[in-house]
Amino acid sequence: MTSPPVLRDWRLARLDLGLLALLILLSTLSLIAGRVWVPLNHIGVAGDPRWLIITELRVPRTLLALAVGAALGLSGATLQGYTRNPLADPGVLGVSAMAALGAVLTLYLNIAYDNVWILPAFAMGGAGIGVLTLVLIAGPAGEAVSFLLAGVILSTIASAGVALALTLSPNPWAASEIMTWLMGTLADRSIVDVETAAPFILIGGAILLGTGRALDALTLGETGARALGVSLRRTQGMIAVGVGLACGAAVAVSGVIGFVGLIVPHLVRRMAGERPSRLLIPSALAGADLLLAADILVRVTPGANEVHVGVAMAALGAPFFLALLISLRRRLA
Q: Could you list the residues that contact other proteins (CB under 8 A)?
A: 1-3, 5, 84, 213, 216-221, 223-224, 226-231, 273-276
In the chain, the largest separation of any two C-alpha atoms, in whole Å, equals 68
Residues 6+ apart with CB under 8 A from 104: 161, 162, 165, 166, 181
Contact 127, 98 (CB under 8 A): yes
Find the shortest distance in angstroms from Cβ 5 to other proteins: 6
User: 44 or 140, CB closer to other proteins?
Assistant: 140
User: 80 or 155, CB closer to other proteins?
Assistant: 80
User: 34 or 81, CB closer to other proteins?
Assistant: 81
Q: CA separation (Å) from 185 to 16, 40, 195, 253, 313?
A: 27, 26, 17, 9, 10
User: 230 or 252, CB closer to other proteins?
Assistant: 230
Find the shortest distance in angstroms from Cβ 269 to other proteins: 8
Q: What is the DSSP string of 283-331?
A: HHHHHHHHHHHHHHHHHHS-SSSPPPHHHHHHHHHHHHHHHHHHHHHHH
User: 156 or 231, CB closer to other proteins?
Assistant: 231
Find the shortest distance in angstroms from Cβ 296 to other proteins: 33
User: 4 or 170, CB closer to other proteins?
Assistant: 4
Contact 287, 254 (CB under 8 A): no
Find the shortest distance in angstroms from Cβ 4 to other proteins: 8
Find the shortest distance in angstroms from Cβ 237 to other proteins: 14
User: 94 or 276, CB closer to other proteins?
Assistant: 276
Find the shortest distance in angstroms from Cβ 241 to other proteins: 20
Contact 196, 120 (CB under 8 A): yes
Find the shortest distance in angstroms from Cβ 265 to other proteins: 11
Contact 73, 88 (CB under 8 A): no
Classify residue 139 as left (phi > 0), alpha (psi -120 to 50) or beta. Answer: left
Q: How far apart are CA 106 and CA 66, in angstroms?
A: 26
